[in-house]
Amino acid sequence: LTLAESWTEELNCAICLDFFTDPVSLGCGHTSQENRSCPECRQVTAERKLQVNRALAKMVEKARGFSLEQTQTSVRRQCEKHREDLKLFCETDQKLICSICRGAKEHRGHSFLPIDEAAEIYKVPINSRGIHSVSTSCFHVKHFYFVRLFQDQAKSSLASLTQRKEKALQAEAKQREKIHKLRYLTDREQRVMCDLKQREEEVLLRMETNLREIKCKLDSVEQELSELQTQMGKDALTFLQVKR
């Protein structure tokens, strides 16, 4: 029984012996699909609403993919990229690599072990007469997958933050463009107002000049009319003498 097989057995239903589909947590601490009596210790729970064990459901989903991947890759003994025998285990990336991969850029600064030595270190002996060793091995596997799950969530959060940052930068650029347009319109408005004011002053100046000229002409005409009226008011002899 391999380490992976012992771990996946912990994720099987005690009744149908298949992977859990909708696991829930019972008061006794065991896990069941939806029964009110524990299939392991037979303790009956009086709770009507059972809490869904989401963490276990995610682990089951990982286990399904792991089992399928294990079946598909069980015969792969060579590096898919370099067609060389897989002789090393990269502790940093937790994957088998060939000697050419070790010198590649993506594995620079990583820690490596021979396959046999890595297997001895990561292999947890299973004692068929006890449950403690099985629980310990399951704990290590579960811990590893929780770490990988946390890494995936961290990458997803980082991608989301990067996307939000890009949107914020785009919004800031649009806002700056609007402000620039407003400033341009404001400057243009000020120039137009200055031109209008200057034209208004020029028009007023011309009007004042014309009014002064008209007033002078009116004064001259009034003076001539006054003189004519004065002459017309004199007697004929005086009028003719002045006219001469």
Let me know whether 2 and 43 are in one domain: yes
Let me know whether 12 and 27 are in one domain: yes
Which of 26, 3, 23 minimizes the C-alpha distance to 13? 23
Let me know whether 86 and 19 are in one domain: no
Does residue 215 belong to any structural domain of this protein? no
Q: How far is it between the farthest Cα atoms of the chain?
A: 165
CATH number at residue 116: 3.30.160.60
Q: How many CB atoms lie within 10 A of CB 108?
A: 8
Number of domains the chain is built from: 2
Write down the pLDDT at residue 110. 92
Q: Tell me what the mean pLDDT of segment 219-240 comes to.
A: 72
Lowest mean pLDDT among 19-23, 98-102, 149-153: 19-23
Please identify which residue in the block is written with the tokens 């909708």: 22
Let me know whether 43 and 97 are in one domain: no
Does residue 163 belong to any structural domain of this protein? no
Which residue among 100, 123, 146 closes a domain?
123
Does residue 227 belong to any structural domain of this protein? no
pTM greater than 0.75 (yes/no)? no
Let me know whether 89 and 45 are in one domain: no
Which residue among 36, 56, 75 closes a domain?
75
- For residue 95, the enclosing domain spans 76-123
Please identify which residue in the block is written with the tokens 């392991």: 40
Let me know whether 48 and 92 are in one domain: no
pLDDT exceeds cutoff 50 at 154: yes
Q: Tell me what the mean pLDDT of segment 125-136 comes to.
A: 47
Write down the pLDDT at residue 224. 81
Does residue 55 belong to any structural domain of this protein? yes
Bin 120: left if φ > 0, else alpha if -120 < ψ < 50, else beta.
alpha
pLDDT exceeds cutoff 70 at 17: no
Distance, CA of 60 to CA of 7 (rounded, Å): 10
Does residue 113 belong to any structural domain of this protein? yes
Distance, CA of 55 to CA of 24 (rounded, Å): 10
Write down the pLDDT at residue 97. 92
Does residue 98 belong to any structural domain of this protein? yes
Let me know whether 39 and 61 are in one domain: yes
Write down the pLDDT at residue 74. 45
